[in-house]
Amino acid sequence: MKKIIIIKYGELTTKKDNINFFIKTLRDNITLALEGIEHNNIYDKGRMFIETDCFDEVTNILIKTFGIHEINIGYKIDYTDIEEIGSKLLDLLKDKKFNTFKVETKRSNKNYPSTSMEVNSKLGAFILKNIANVKVDVHNPELEINIEIRYKDIYIYFAKIPGIGGYPVGTLGKGMLMLSGGIDSPVAGYLALKRGIRLECIYFESPPHTSENAKNKVLNLAKVLSEYSGYVKVHVIRFTEIQEAIYKNIPKEYMITIMRRMMYRISEKMAHRNNCKAIINGESVGQVASQTLTSMSVINEVITMPVLRPVACFDKNEIIKLSKSINTYDISIEPYEDCCTIFVPDHPVINPESCKALEYEKLISYEELIKEAIRNVETIKVTPKMQKYSNIL
């Protein structure tokens, strides 16, 4: 018998027309995620099998891989008869404690001489005969014994580890995530990854008004997201000159509106440059002044690219709960200001007018400022294996 990891595909198995593309992308993502770990991948219809000695390490990576429905730690035995399966099964059960059990067989090899029901019945009887004080419970067993009879091999497994589902990252193209140091945008990025969108991130910094620690905080958030996608590119935009021009020239109540319009323009240009098909952000309707429907409409009008807002209708508590589950919350609450939290007026407009925004923008030469910001972009490729970015004391 050989110990083995069995991977079952998730929602992608419903995509009949593109199934081969989805499965190939998942395989490529798994290969990338397991780079540096000794393993061997085996592919069979509807399943992927991984042979390795690093079961815990591999499993911890797979449970963060989108497109996987279920992970099983099982055992592979040679194609054989019921009696031999029973003998191997007894070896596996000798260290397990249980009072009730159920045998569940899937027989993809229809040429096997026994049906699934016959295998269940024969193995159940074999266990009852050889293990004392146990009984069958098909509704709520303490131990479920799963048998898969395939064309070349037979697999036995017990525990089922849920995967995180979704689509393999990259199957739906790329999106540009506006990643700040807050709670919302990393959660939005995670949800976009779950729908198969590979992320590139854009971060706006305003030195000296924002610190290197604020930048490191964002890179650490990107590192967490990279654990679900293999890698994440972060494009760091110096926003200082644009932000100072806004502060000096724009009426205070419209500063946030104009600032967000500038960020959208830059994000769209960077998205086009990097072959992204949508902009993604962590805006949640009504959460702050720039996220009323009127504000979002006036800000959104400066670009033509689709904007995805995965947390748009989430309550803040829902976003916080999800951020804790994906391990971004503690990073997000580190006390370093980003450019969205500086120069904030006391009473920003919540229902801005498009005509006023256009008029106020004429007060600054933003086209050249945007070109300069993009010319000086810094791009950083973040991977799960990189060390955490340390804060500067």
Q: What stretches of the chain show up as alpha helix (H) in DSSP?
A: 19-33, 55-62, 82-93, 116-130, 184-194, 212-226, 240-249, 255-273, 293-300, 316-325, 329-332, 354-361, 366-375
Listed residue (225, 221, 176, 252) closest to 338, CA to CA: 221
Query: For position 13, what pLDDT does the model report?
Result: 56
Residue 43: strand pairing partners: 48
What pLDDT, on a 0 to 100 scale, did the predictor assign at position 393? 47
Neighbours of 146 (CB within 10 A): 18
CA-to-CA distance for 364 and 149, rounded, in angstroms? 70
Helices 366-375/255-273 angle, 10° precision: 50
Residue written as tokens 């001489």?
A: 113
Block means of pLDDT (10 residues each) for the chain, 393 residues, are 89 69 92 91 82 93 95 91 92 94 93 93 96 96 95 91 95 97 96 98 94 94 97 97 95 95 98 98 85 93 98 96 98 85 82 96 95 97 86 56
Q: Is residue 101 within a helix (H) or strand (E), and if so which, with residue range? A: strand 100-107
pLDDT of residue 391: 63
Cα separation values, 202 from 149, 182, 197, Å: 49, 14, 15
Kindly list the domain boundaries of the chain, sorted by start residue.
2-162, 174-382
Q: For residues 18 and 23, what is the distance between their CA atoms, to the nearest angstrom?
A: 9
Contact 372, 215 (CB under 8 A): no
Strand order in the sheet with 307-308: 307-308, 278-280, 174-178, 198-205, 232-238, 378-382
Please give the single-letter amino acid code of residue 256.
I
Fold of 2-162: VC0802-like (3.30.2130)
Task: Choose the CATH number for 174-382 among 3.60.21.10, 3.40.50.2300, 3.40.50.720, 3.40.50.620.
Answer: 3.40.50.620
Q: How far is it, in rounded angstroms, from Cα 346 to Cα 17?
A: 54
CA distance 77 to 107: 15
